């Protein structure tokens, strides 16, 4: 479905009015905020940590610098935390601007002891409520922009990519981690069987939110292939757009530069 031209947009496998999607997505993350981090470990068997480490590699953080990072759909601050840890290893520091539509997710993030500890060491966390389609930050103000498992939830992807391009400085790096698609139909079938059969019940059991996790697995299927998404990056003005598949295509990094 062409999300930019229609009054209807996907919400998992359902079609909903464009104006309703943000509220529905907010409901999902309100419901799971306190169990979000533990569910990530359970659902992915810890794999999300490996994917996030690859994401941080892809940022090419330089040693002994001070950087401005914007983490869009930053939720509980997991990506900002990892970027800060990497910066510290390289003798660098970061201001991490975590922008999320959902105050509940950020409340859970602020309460994380590891976030509190990291902030004392190598930088600062700034949690701000806002949406990817209208980032509350000035033009050309960031060196790095990340978005992990967030882009498939936004209502207007083209607007979100245009905003990412706007807030990055020339030379700035864009890295998006998102679930993707496997090249082998057989593997995809096996993965679908796992995700549709086990993840919603697991979400019901651990977070008391089966419906939220049903949406999450459906939204993964609705997200385009890396090739299609890279075209959207190029259309937004990103240069040298490229993808790196992770775990056989379960997830992918989608990267580009603002020149
Ligand atoms: C799956 S979580 C990812 C959180 C974090 N990036 C991570 O990887 O752990 C998706 C996040 O996207 C946020 N979100 C959904 N739609 C958004 C939008 N339009 N703008 C900004 N954040 C949004 C949700 O509130 C939620 O915190």
Residue 77's pLDDT is 96
> Does residue 61 have a pLDDT over 90?
yes
Confidence bin at 1 (pLDDT 50/70/90): very low
pLDDT at 118: 80
- How many CB atoms are closer than 10 A to CB 3? 16
**What is the predicted pLDDT for the residue at 123?**
64
pLDDT tens sequence across 177-200: 999 999 999 999 999 999 999 999
22 pLDDT more than 60: yes
Question: Do 97 and 91 touch, CB atoms closer than 8 A?
Answer: no
State whether the beta carbon of 11 lies less than 6 angstroms from ligand 1: no
Domains of the chain: which residue ranges? 38-195+224-258
Q: Is the CB of 250 under 6 A from ligand 1?
A: no
CATH architecture of residue range(s) 38-195+224-258: 3-Layer(aba) Sandwich (3.40)
Strands 251-258 and 168-179: antiparallel
pLDDT at 117: 85
Least Cα distance to 31 among 217, 219, 210, 221 occurs for 210
Residue 120 has what pLDDT? 66
> Which residue's CA is the nearest one to ligand 1's atom 4?
75
Whether pLDDT at 4 is above 60: no
Does ligand 1 lie within 6 Å of residue 28's CB atom? no
Token representation of residue 196: 């549709």
At 68 the pLDDT is: 97
Quick one: what percent of the chain has pLDDT higher than 70? Answer: 96
How far apart CA 244 and CA 183 sit, in angstroms, is 13
Ligand 1 centroid, distance to 206 Cα (angstroms): 20
Please indicate whether residue 131, judged by its CB atom, sits closer than 6 Å to ligand 1.
yes
The pLDDT tens digits for 121-144 are 656 899 999 999 999 999 999 999
Substitution candidate for ligand 1 out of 16, 101, 103 with most atoms within 8 A of CB:
101
Taking a C-beta distance cutoff of 8 angstroms, is the pair 179, 222 a contact?
no
Q: Choose one of 153, 163, 179 to mutate for the ligand 1 pocket test, by most ligand atoms within 8 angstroms of C-beta.
A: 153
Q: Could you report the per-residue pLDDT of 80-95, keeping only the tens digit for each?
A: 999 999 999 999 999 9
Q: What share of the chain is helix, strand, coil (3-state, %, to 5)?
A: 50, 25, 25
| Residue 100 in marked binding region | yes
Predicted confidence band of residue 2 (pLDDT cuts 50, 70, 90): very low
pLDDT tens, 206-254?
A: 989 999 999 999 999 999 999 999 999 999 999 999 999 999 999 999 9
179 touches ligand 1 (CB under 6 Å): no
Distance 101 CA to ligand 1 centre (A): 7
Distance from the CA of 151 to the center of ligand 1, in angstroms? 8
Considering the chain, what is the average pLDDT of its residues?
94
pTM of the predicted model as reported, rounded to 2 decimal places: 0.94
Give 56 Cα–ligand 1 centroid separation in angstroms.
18
Q: Residue 248 in contact with residue 182, Cβ under 8 Å? A: yes
* Residue 5 predicted with pLDDT over 50: yes
């Amino acid at each position: 479905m062409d999300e930019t031209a229609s009054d209807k947009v996907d919400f998992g496998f359902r079609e909903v009015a464009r104006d309703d999607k943000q509220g529905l997505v907010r409901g999902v993350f309100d419901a799971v905020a306190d169990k979000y981090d533990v569910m990530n470990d359970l659902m992915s068997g810890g794999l999300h940590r490996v994917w996030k480490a690859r994401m941080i590699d892809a940022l090419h953080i330089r040693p002994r610098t001070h950087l401005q990072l914007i983490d869009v759909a930053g939720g509980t601050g997991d990506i900002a935390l990892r970027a800060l840890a990497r910066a510290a290893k390289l003798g660098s520091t970061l201001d991490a601007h975590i922008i999320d539509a959902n105050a509940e997710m950020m409340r859970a993030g602020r309460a994380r002891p590891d976030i509190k500890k990291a902030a004392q060491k190598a930088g600062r966390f700034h949690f701000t409520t806002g949406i990817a389609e209208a980032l509350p930050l000035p033009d050309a103000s960031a060196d790095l922009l990340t978005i992990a498992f967030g882009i498939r939830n936004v209502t207007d992807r083209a607007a979100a990519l245009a905003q990412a391009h706007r807030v990055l400085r020339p030379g700035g790096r864009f890295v998006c981690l998102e679930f993707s698609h496997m090249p082998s139909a057989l593997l995809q079938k096996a993965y679908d069987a796992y995700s549709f059969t086990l993840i919603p019940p697991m979400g019901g059991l651990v977070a008391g939110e089966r419906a939220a996790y049903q949406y999450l697995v459906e939204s993964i299927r609705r997200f385009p292939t890396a090739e299609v998404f890279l075209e959207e990056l190029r259309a937004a003005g990103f240069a040298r757009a490229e993808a790196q598949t992770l775990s056989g295509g379960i997830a992918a990094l989608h990267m580009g530069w603002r020149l």
